[in-house]
């Protein structure tokens, strides 16, 4: 009887440690993921007048913008919602910001750094 209790306690301890290890790995992986995403965003460079907004179903329903230069770029939903066809966008390599112009006036600055920091903060609260 004592052996069964010890085995049960040991199994519970192993399960608890396993769950804690997975949780710690999940949280640290998320922060690393967002940091990599920010660095990837900084490496992008594009500009032009928006010709089309669409959702690319072949890329996991990613919001896309097509420019006069015939290039298309993925953007995050919250920024995509603000963009209209005819707006101009400038994203400079090495910077974390996207500049959105409407009628030659700066309409909005979207900062990937602020965006990813808010996602990390939200993730750490959960």
Sorted by where each begins, the domain ranges of the chain are 4-28, 34-125
In the prediction, which pLDDT does 101 show? 97
- pLDDT per position as a tens digit, 9-23: 777 777 877 777 666
Contact of 97 with 112, CB cutoff 8 Å: yes
Collect the ranges in the chain with pLDDT lower than 70: 1-2, 21-29, 124-126
User: Which residue from 91, 56, 58 is spatially nearest to 77, judged by alpha carbons?
Assistant: 56
Global pTM value: 0.70
**How far is it, in rounded angstroms, from Cα 12 to Cα 18?**
10
In the prediction, which pLDDT does 55 show? 92
Cα distances from 81 to residues 7, 48, 77, in angstroms, run 56, 17, 6
- pLDDT per position as a tens digit, 76-90: 888 999 999 999 999
In the prediction, which pLDDT does 125 show? 67
**How far is it, in rounded angstroms, from Cα 92 to Cα 82?**
19
In the prediction, which pLDDT does 103 show? 93
In the prediction, which pLDDT does 114 show? 93
């Amino acid at each position: 009887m004592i052996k069964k209790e010890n085995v049960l306690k040991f199994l519970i301890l192993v399960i608890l440690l396993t769950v804690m290890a997975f949780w710690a790995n999940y949280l640290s992986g998320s922060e690393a993921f967002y940091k990599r995403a920010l660095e990837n965003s900084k490496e992008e460079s594009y500009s032009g007048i928006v010709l089309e907004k669409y959702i690319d179903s072949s890329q996991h329903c990613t919001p896309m913008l097509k420019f006069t230069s015939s290039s298309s770029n993925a953007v995050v939903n919250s920024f995509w919602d603000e963009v209209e066809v005819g707006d101009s966008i400038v994203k400079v390599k090495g910077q974390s910001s996207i500049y959105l112009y409407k009628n030659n006036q700066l309409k909005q600055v979207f900062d990937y750094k602020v965006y990813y920091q808010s996602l990390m903060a939200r993730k750490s609260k959960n």
